[in-house]
Structure 1
Amino acid sequence: MMIHVRRAELSDAAQIQRVYASTGAYSGTLQLPHPSVEMWQERLRNFDPDSTMLVAVYDGVIVANAGLHLEKKQRRSHVASMGLGVADAFTGRGVATALLTELLNLSDNWLHILRVELTVFCDNAPAIHLYKKFGFEIEGTHRAHAMRNGRFTDSYSMARLHPHQPLIPLRET
Structure 2
Amino acid sequence: MPETSNAARRTPILAPSGTGMVRALPPADRFALRLRGAPVPAGGFDLGGPLNSVRGTPERFAARLGPDEWLLVCPEGEGPAAGAAIAADLAGRFFALVAVGHRNAALAVRGPHVAAILNAGIALDLSDAAFPPGAATRTLLGKAEVVLVRAGADFRVECWRSFAPYVHAFLRDAAREFGG
Q: What TM-score do you get using the length of structure 1 for normalisation? A: 0.25
Pick 1 or 2: higher relative contact order, CA cutoff 8 A, min separation 6: 2
Q: Indicate the structure with greater helix content.
A: 1
